[in-house]
Structure 1
Amino acid sequence: MIYRYMNVDKVISALNNSTRRQILVWLKKRSNFPPALPEHTDLSGVCVGYIQEKAGLSQSTISTYMKLLKDAGLVVSERHGQWTFYRRDEDVIAATLSKLSEELQ
Structure 2
Amino acid sequence: MLRTPAGERRLDILEWLKEPARHFPPQRRADPVEDGVPAAAVAAKLGVRREVADTHLALLTGLGLLRATRIRRRLYYRRDEMRIAEVARMFEKGW
Q: Aligning the two structures, in what range does the TM-score lie when normalised by the shorter sequence? A: 0.7 to 0.9
Q: Match for residue 51 of structure 2?
A: 60
Gaps of 5+ in 2: none
Letter in 1 for 2:80: D
Q: Match for residue 13 of structure 2?
A: 23
Q: Match for residue 86 of structure 2?
A: 95
The 1-side partners of 2:20 and 2:10 are apart by 16
Gaps of 5+ in 1: 1-12
Bigger radius of gyration among the two = 1
Q: What is the TM-score with the length of structure 1 in the denominator?
A: 0.78
Q: Match for residue 27 of structure 2?
A: 36
CA RMSD between the two structures? 1.6
Question: Which string of whole-angstrom CA distances, capped at 9 and with x for unpartnered residues, describes residues 37-68 of structure 1?
Answer: 1x324852111111111111111111111111
Q: Structure 1's 92 and 58: CA in aligned 2 closer, same or farther, altered over 3 A?
A: same
Q: What is the TM-score with the length of structure 2 in the denominator?
A: 0.85
Equivalent pair of 2:30/2:36 in contact (CA under 8 Å): no
The percentage of aligned residue pairs carrying the same residue is 30
Which 4+ residue blocks in structure 1 deviate beyond 3 angstroms?
none
Matched residue SS, 1:103: coil
